[in-house]
Amino acid sequence: MNLSKPGKGAIIKRKNSISVIAWFIPPAFSCYHNYLSGMKFFLIGFMGAGKSFWGRQWAMHLNYSFIDLDKAIEEKIGKPVASIFEENGEIFFRKREAEILREILKADNVIIACGGGTPCYENNMNWMNENGHTVYLSRSPVELYKNVLKEKWQRPLLKNITDEEILSYIEKKLIERLPFYEKAAVIFTSEQVNVNSLDKIIR
């Protein structure tokens, strides 16, 4: 098996060869099935980075299951994330988020789109690196700003922030979260990501 160089724009941290092999081999190659079996992949990044969109695309491409962590939390608790923040507070949310994230350990062949803050609390980032393979979708503050404006009503942390203040908020929070995000095994910029981008690692 030959490993090619990463596609342009991708940053690959080769912590071990198995993580790279397992993540990027197309399922059409049946002889590689054992490498793909039983894998868990965690997509991380700021809100608006495209974790849910690309998670679904890659799950279909690899014939994996897809889990949106926020949706799993809503289903488990029985109300929207925005309501949880408003009625129970962020501390409660982060505790339940960590618990539900760890319940996913029971699933195999799955891609999980995490919330923007997930890696920053309850030792989640270290846990994800120990129990699966992490992929950080890196985006500029301006890119994130344009994306979150389209769905601001769905973002509880932006509820009391004006549109004019959102960019400054993103810049500030991104600086705080980068030390966690950059612990990911794989980092993709927006220029590199497409439905086939995972396949560029192995040819």
**What is the Cβ-side half-sphere exposure of residue 117, based on CA atoms within 13 angstroms?**
17
- Domain 10-201: CATH superfamily is P-loop containing nucleotide triphosphate hydrolases (3.40.50.300)
In sequence order, the 6+-apart residues with CB closer than 8 A to the CB of 50 are 137, 139, 147, 190, 193
3-state secondary structure of 137: strand
For 73-111, the pLDDT digits (tens) are: 999 999 999 899 989 999 999 999 999 999 988 888 899
Tokens of 107: 């699933």
Global confidence as pTM: 0.79
Alpha-carbon distance of 31 to 33, in angstroms, equals: 6
Which residues sit opposite 134 in a β-bridge? 42
pLDDT averaged over every residue in the chain? 80
Cα separation, 200 vs 136, whole angstroms: 16
Sequential pLDDT tens for the chain (203 residues): 333 333 444 544 544 332 332 333 333 333 333 344 567 889 999 999 999 999 999 899 888 899 999 999 999 999 999 899 989 999 999 999 999 999 988 888 899 999 999 999 999 999 999 998 899 999 999 999 998 887 766 677 677 788 889 899 999 999 999 999 999 989 999 998 888 776 654 23
DSSP assignment of 76-104, as one string? HHTS-HHHHHHHH-HHHHHHHHHHHHHHG
What SS3 state is found at 69? helix
| AA identity, residue 24 | F
Helices 81-88 and 90-103, interaxial angle, to 10°? Answer: 130
